[in-house]
């Protein structure tokens, strides 16, 4: 069953509770102060420059480095996927044409079991499934995420433009060609940016 915009919020873990709280705060801003708002609820994103702890990049990174690929639980949790560029286009359409105070789901209908997605990426990389390692599931981990996005399609005319496997192939190529970026992010080296850029200049003015 796909969840529409009118479904009751039922967060099962602190992460989803924080998202629900954000929705409610926006609703208060709209109802109390008349502030223009829209609430956008998207399915899982994938694309270039995604932090490497997320599912798609961690599969690619670990597969290319012959590292174990962790899969939560039995791998049968279902997620719906959208390319980040399609999500950005949806945000733009909502900003331009959406009605203030309305909530819009953004999805594709493209649903995959986690284990099936892992195996698909490994197949595309010509890497053995032996790297798959099942790990203890997270507490409150939802079995299925899937949204009904008929509202944005019918009212605003938005629809996804990037076919899932086409987008996945592009992302695999991108990460394969940017392993140095992944390594810098994974190592935390980027966190030294402030010290490298600003501290020497601050010392010069003292």
pLDDT at 202 over 70: no
Query: In Å, how far are 14, 73, 81, 143 from 138, measured between CA atoms?
Result: 12, 8, 20, 11
What's residue 86's pLDDT? Answer: 99
Domains annotated for the chain, with CATH where assigned, are 14-205 (3.40.50.720)
For residue 120, count other CB atoms closer than 10 A to its CB: 15
pLDDT in tens, 31-78: 999 999 999 999 999 999 998 889 999 999 999 999 999 999 999 999
What's residue 183's pLDDT? Answer: 84
Split at pLDDT 50, 70, 90, the class of 144 is confident
pLDDT in tens, 91-116: 999 999 999 999 999 999 999 999 99
Split at pLDDT 50, 70, 90, the class of 206 is low
CA atoms within 13 A on the CB side of 151: 20
pLDDT at 1 over 90: no
What's residue 201's pLDDT? Answer: 60
Retrieve residue 21's tokens: 């709280």
């Amino acid at each position: 069953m796909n969840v529409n915009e009118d479904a009751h919020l039922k967060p099962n873990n602190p992460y989803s509770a924080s998202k629900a709280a954000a929705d409610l705060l926006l609703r208060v801003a709209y109802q109390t102060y008349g502030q223009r708002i829209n609430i956008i609820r998207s399915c899982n994103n994938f694309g270039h420059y995604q932090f490497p702890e997320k599912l798609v990049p961690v599969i690619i990174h670990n597969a290319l480095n012959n590292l174990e690929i962790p899969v939560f639980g039995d791998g049968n949790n279902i997620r719906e996927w959208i390319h980040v560029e399609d999500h950005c286009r949806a945000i733009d359409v909502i900003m331009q044409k959406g009605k203030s105070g309305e909530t819009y789901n953004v999805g594709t209908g493209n649903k995959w079991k986690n284990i099936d997605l892992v195996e698909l990426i490994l197949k595309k990389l010509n890497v053995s499934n032996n790297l798959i390692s099942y790990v203890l599931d997270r507490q409150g981990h939802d079995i299925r995420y899937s949204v009904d996005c008929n509202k944005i399609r019918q009212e605003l005319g938005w629809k996804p433009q990037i076919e899932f496997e086409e987008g996945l192939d592009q992302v695999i190529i991108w990460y394969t060609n940017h392993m140095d970026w992944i390594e810098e992010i994974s190592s935390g080296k980027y966190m030294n940016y402030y010290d490298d850029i600003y501290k020497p200049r601050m010392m010069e003015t003292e």
